Amino acid sequence: MDFAFVSDHLALDFAATVAWRTTRHKELLAEPADFARWVAEAGVVDRLETVSQADLVKARTLREAIYGLALAATEGEPADLRDVARIQQAAARSPVRLELHALGQVERQGGVLEVLATLGTTASDLFGGPDHLLIRHCAGEPCTRLFIDRSRAGTRRWCSKRSCGSRINAAAYRRRTSKDEQA
């Protein structure tokens, strides 16, 4: 399964590295190399040289703290202080270093701790700022992705119109047409 970058926020894209959380619970960061691949695809650093099993555990712990706070935000519940502490801890380090070379050309350097610091920082920005009120669940069950609803009317329903949106529309269409046939 490919990684998805459809949430409109890096922290929520990171949370989406567990798919179908309420049903099949598919772990997309099964191996240390999966985390290195996600980090590169997400554009956090150009390349992550070595990721250990312990690094992977740290990454997953931060990810679950992010998911926990995102869930609390969607449900209007207070934040679990353990999740807050985990994000604080990650963000206390120096983040990934960016070196601009030219228009469209930047070098992003850092190891696992810097990557986690960047993720912790972006999560702090999301949960500490007004955008946490815009976090929504995808309506396309069993999809459990979260996203930021930046639509002007506040009516975005799916993580991705192409995957979940079209699937739901097709199902609704089938339901409608089968009803018509029965009538």
Nearer to Zn ion, 39 or 164 (CB): 164
Count of CA atoms in the C-beta half-sphere (13 A) of 124: 16
- State phi, psi for 16 to the nearest 5 degrees: -80, 5
Nearer to Zn ion, 4 or 79 (CB): 4
Contacts of 104 (CB under 8 A, 6+ apart): none
* Positions that interact with Zn ion (CB under 5 A): 138, 140, 143, 145, 159, 164
Q: Which helix (H) or strand (E) holds 10?
A: helix 10-15
- Alpha helices in 43-165, H assignment, sequence order: 53-75, 81-91, 112-128
Q: Closest distance between Zn ion and the C-beta of residue 140, in Å?
A: 4
Q: Closest distance between Zn ion and the C-beta of residue 161, in Å?
A: 10
Nearer to Zn ion, 112 or 146 (CB): 146
Q: Closest distance between Zn ion and the C-beta of residue 133, in Å?
A: 20
